[in-house]
Structures are given as structure tokens and as C-alpha cells.
A and B are shown apart, each in its own frame.
Chain A
Amino acid sequence: MDLAQFSQQLINGISLGSLYGIIAIGYTMVYGILRLINFAHGDVMMMGCFFAYYGILMFSLPWQFSFIIAIALTAILGIIIDRGAYRPVRKAPRISALITAIGVSFLLENAGIVVFGGRQKAFFRPEMFDSIITFHGIRFLNLAIYVPIITLTLLGIILLIIYRTKVGRAMRCISHDMETTRLMGVDVNRVIAITFAMGSAAAAAGGILWALKYPQINPLMGIIPGLKAFVAAVLGGIGNVGGAMIGGLILGLAEIMLVAIRPDLSGYRDAIAFGILIIILLFRPTGLFGEKLPE
């Protein structure tokens, strides 16, 4: 692999990785606060894509508007899911919450099939993201530059909210000790709702970027990116928002590079994430994310 090819793959890897990263943020935020793997997160991302799709197609909105409205709607969807499905099981054993999350995931996927239809739909790619850049023998879509810029900007905004606002402080407190935070007079449910809204909005943004990159959408499109983003969140240390982005980048680069080096293994691309997850488990069982036996 010469330098040009390498740079080409590097750009691909970074743009894919930052998408995993932005989706992973939602996982990591919710897990940090509720200790719940929001299985439905990938499907929330899918919903974001469809909101944007229908915004452009049915209401003929300019794409900028459509995207923003889709992100807002997805944030609201996140709040509804929390209110309707997760809040009622918050006091129940953790397993119940996990099963609920799996149920919500399937509900969104199948409701998607019923409402949107199961077939692939072509996603509209605005001209702005549709030009090819040629640079010293490397060719890539200018989208590949926009994706990391946009995701890093969003990451910056989210970090600002978490570390510089009152709501963010409440989030950090809840992740430390929910009951005590409640006793301090913080409206815990409201903060959790905001967390879901933020995570879902980030997922929608990630999903729209995803659909711009791979402009075919269908109701099951969220499953694989969702699972991989989860692995990214674990890689970066779950609960750690910046880490999620780093985990995403590692994963994206690993996937792209492996396929570049060994094209014959490209069929295994979807297994890489889980391979990484399993290796972490074998060698750092408690280091990155294992829970110690309760005292």
C-alpha cells in the first residue's frame, strides 16, 4: 500500500469512525446515567433518517430544514421512548430494563417496516456534499471531510453541555449516585429525559450523515451501525463521551484498514467489531468495563 492509498483509506476510516463515534455518544450517555444499554439506539438513528427522508420527500422542505426538524423529532422520540418504556421499569431489576430495550428496538424496526415499507429507499444527497475532491492522486467525496468536522463540532457542543451547564452537572451527579442527586432536589426524570433527547439527537445527526454517505435507507439499517457503535462506546470506556468518539475512530479505522490490507477478508468486516469486543473481554475482563463482584 503506497502513501496515496494509505491516505485514501485513512480518510475513509476517519469518516466512518466518526460516524460510529457520534452514534456511540448516545449509548455512552444513557449507560453512564441509567446503566442501561439502550438497545433501541441504532433504531432511533434509523428513525432520524426516515424523518429527514419524508421531510424532503413529502413536505418538500429544503434539506437543511428537513435535517434540523428530523433531529428535533428524533430527540422527542427519544424522550417518548424513555417516558413510555424505560421510566416504568426504572425500579425493576436491570434485566427487565434490558428486555424492554430489546422490545423497543424490535418495535421500532417492525413499525418501520409496517409504516415505511421494507424496501430500500434512495436518500437525497444535497449537491453541497456531492463533489469529488482530487488531491495528489487521492479521490474522495467532499462529504468525507464534512463528516468528521460536523461530528467533532457536535461532540464539542455535547461536552460543553455536560461540563459547563447546570443540566450537565446534574447528569454527572446522577451517573455518580442517582438517589442522592434526587435527594438534593434535582428533578432526576427531567435530566434523564434531556439525556435521551441529546443522545437521540446525536444519533439522528449521525444517521443522516450515514445516509448521506450510504444513500440507501431501510427500517433495519440501524441494527449493524448500532451494534458497532456500542462496541465503540465500550472501547472508549463506557460512560465516557470523549472516549466514545475515540473508540469509534479506532473501530472505523480498524475496519477500513483490515479490508484494505486483506481484501479477501472483506466478508468478515461486520465481525471485526465483535472480534475486538471479545478480545477485550479475554484480556481486560475487568479493566475496561467489567463489574466487580458486589461486596
Chain B
Amino acid sequence: MDFFAAKNLTMKFGGLVAVNDFNITLKRGEIVGLIGPNGAGKTTVFNMVAGYYEPTEGTITFSKNIINGKKANEITKLGIARTFQNIRLFTELSVIENVMIAYHCRVKSTFLGAVLRFPLYRREEKMMHEGAMNILEEVGLASLAKERSDSLPYGQQRRLEIARALATGPELLLLDEPAAGMNPQETQDLVDLVIRIRDNHGLTVFLIEHDMKFVMQICERMKVIDYGTTIAEGTPEEIQNNERVIKAYLGEA
């Protein structure tokens, strides 16, 4: 059984077919890219996987569970975390709170236990705090823990969003255009970061990206879609030399 598999995924909005018969399997530990021109349906695929849309057709299986139709928060709990194309932090909360929140879904204390600060909650709070600090350390934001999250520069906000996703304890991480808006140095740091967290946390990474340099460096395998339909898949080298891809996508760049 595959670690993650999407079979015949189709998403229709009224008459519009946003994604048509999308198939993919991921092996544990892979970094796989999903590319394609704007409006090709990439984010729609993510939204189906992460539980924001219910696929019109098809099934998604993840470590032996069929997950399509489940709610986003349930899917997160099962071990799939995501980031968003446009950064979506909890702006008025501090950097560390943004990460601590991600542990909340695993908290065992009841709300009353938390309000009355029973020993179990105190232990859990300590664990949340330490866990969040460790992750911030890992992504290089520990020194900014008490800042408001919207006061961070753009590149660091992206990192914080990844840290937040990591804190949910995922096995599969979905990154939606993580390098968007970054300068070359930040992009290079991001490559290192993604590979490092993959190795440290035993993650599988599935990402959408437009920055070809980034994708070519980091992905072991990629899939190209256009108008909701898969047009190619293979290693970065194969994709680079694929006629259809060059025509649909790289040719434009």
C-alpha cells in the first residue's frame, strides 16, 4: 500500500472542471513537486488533499485511511499539514503563539482543566512551549519568539508558516508556493530548510512552486498539470526536456 495516493481526482465547480482525473502516489520521504501555469488547478489539488474541497470524483488515501470527505482539521490531525499560497498567519498573535496553537489539537486537558490550571494542563502547556521553541530554533526564528507575527519580514513569515505546519506533527507536508516573493538568497535558505526538516522529521513533502530553480534543486520527482490535466511527470531532468511541458509552461518563462 502506498504512503499516499490520489486516484482519479476530479473537481468540478458548476460547469468548470478545475482538476480532471488527477493521479499521484507518494513514497515516504520523497520531495515531489507539482507545477503548471497559473490557473492549472494546482491549489485545487491541495485543497482537496487538505480537506477544504470535497472531490467531485476520486479517492485520496493516506497511510491506509481514505481521507476525502474528511474535514480539514481532521486531516491535519491524521498527519497532513499545509501552508498557504498567500501567507495566512494569525496576525495579532506572537510568533511563538502561532506555533503553540498548532499543538492545541493534541491537548488532552479539558477546557476546565486548562482554566483551573490542573497539573496535566501545566505539563501540556510546558510541552507546547518547549516544542514550539524547538521548532522556532530549527527554522531560525527563536530570537523573534515574542514579536508579533505580522511584524516579521516576508521571508520570515513564510518560515513561520512552515514552522506552524511542522508543529502539528505531520508526516506529509504540503507547501503551496513556499518560495513566492523571496529573493535568491532566501530561496536558497529555503531549499536547505525544507531538506533539513524533511530529514529531521521524516517528512514527505509535496509542493507547488513557480520558481523553477527552486523546484529543480529540491524535487526528486515532479508532476506537471495544465488546465486540470496531467501533461507530464518524471525527474527534473526529464521534465526539463519534455516537449509538452516546454510548450505549456517553461516556454513561456
A contact residues vs B (CB 8 Å cutoff) = 293, 295
A295→B72 CA distance, assembly (Å): 12
| Shortest distance from the beta carbon of A286 to any chain B beta carbon, whole Å | 12
Smallest CB gap from B86: residue in A: A295
A200→B47 CA distance, assembly (Å): 42
Assess whether B52 is interfacial by the CB under 8 Å rule: yes
A-contact bits for B212-230, CB 8 A (1 contact / 0 none): 0000000000000000000
Q: Find chain B residues with CB under 8 A from A293 CB.
A: 52
Smallest CB gap from B84: residue in A: A295
User: 4 A–B contact pairs at CB < 8 A?
Assistant: A293-B52, A295-B43, A295-B47, A295-B52
Q: What's the tally of chain B residues with a CB closer than 8 Å to chain A?
A: 3
A293→B73 CA distance, assembly (Å): 13
Interface majority SS (helix, strand, loop, mixed), chain A: loop
| Shortest distance from the beta carbon of A104 to any chain B beta carbon, whole Å | 28
Instruction: Give the 4 A-B residue pairs with the shortest CB-CB distance, closest first.
Output: A293-B52, A295-B47, A295-B52, A295-B43
| Shortest distance from the beta carbon of A272 to any chain B beta carbon, whole Å | 33
| Shortest distance from the beta carbon of A198 to any chain B beta carbon, whole Å | 30
A276→B43 CA distance, assembly (Å): 38
B contact residues vs A (CB 8 Å cutoff) = 43, 47, 52
Q: Find chain A residues with CB under 8 A from B52 CB.
A: 293, 295
A5→B52 CA distance, assembly (Å): 52
A170→B246 CA distance, assembly (Å): 42
Q: Find chain B residues with CB under 8 A from A295 CB.
A: 43, 47, 52
A33→B185 CA distance, assembly (Å): 45
A293→B54 CA distance, assembly (Å): 12
Smallest CB gap from A293: residue in B: B52
| Shortest distance from the beta carbon of B23 to any chain A beta carbon, whole Å | 23
| Shortest distance from the beta carbon of A91 to any chain B beta carbon, whole Å | 17
A295→B52 CA distance, assembly (Å): 8
Smallest CB gap from B47: residue in A: A295
Smallest CB gap from B88: residue in A: A294
| Shortest distance from the beta carbon of B63 to any chain A beta carbon, whole Å | 25
A251→B52 CA distance, assembly (Å): 35
A295→B41 CA distance, assembly (Å): 13
| Shortest distance from the beta carbon of B123 to any chain A beta carbon, whole Å | 34
A293→B47 CA distance, assembly (Å): 11
| Shortest distance from the beta carbon of B134 to any chain A beta carbon, whole Å | 31
| Shortest distance from the beta carbon of A92 to any chain B beta carbon, whole Å | 16
| Shortest distance from the beta carbon of A108 to any chain B beta carbon, whole Å | 34
| Shortest distance from the beta carbon of B84 to any chain A beta carbon, whole Å | 9
A295→B43 CA distance, assembly (Å): 9
A19→B52 CA distance, assembly (Å): 41
A294→B19 CA distance, assembly (Å): 18
A293→B43 CA distance, assembly (Å): 15
A220→B176 CA distance, assembly (Å): 53
| Shortest distance from the beta carbon of A57 to any chain B beta carbon, whole Å | 54
A293→B52 CA distance, assembly (Å): 8
| Shortest distance from the beta carbon of A89 to any chain B beta carbon, whole Å | 20
A295→B42 CA distance, assembly (Å): 13
A157→B47 CA distance, assembly (Å): 44
A222→B206 CA distance, assembly (Å): 56
Smallest CB gap from B85: residue in A: A295
Q: Find chain A residues with CB under 8 A from B47 CB.
A: 295
| Shortest distance from the beta carbon of B198 to any chain A beta carbon, whole Å | 26
| Shortest distance from the beta carbon of A159 to any chain B beta carbon, whole Å | 25
| Shortest distance from the beta carbon of A262 to any chain B beta carbon, whole Å | 41
| Shortest distance from the beta carbon of B208 to any chain A beta carbon, whole Å | 13
A26→B132 CA distance, assembly (Å): 51
| Shortest distance from the beta carbon of B97 to any chain A beta carbon, whole Å | 21
A15→B42 CA distance, assembly (Å): 53
| Shortest distance from the beta carbon of B81 to any chain A beta carbon, whole Å | 17
| Shortest distance from the beta carbon of B72 to any chain A beta carbon, whole Å | 8
| Shortest distance from the beta carbon of B155 to any chain A beta carbon, whole Å | 23
A290→B52 CA distance, assembly (Å): 15
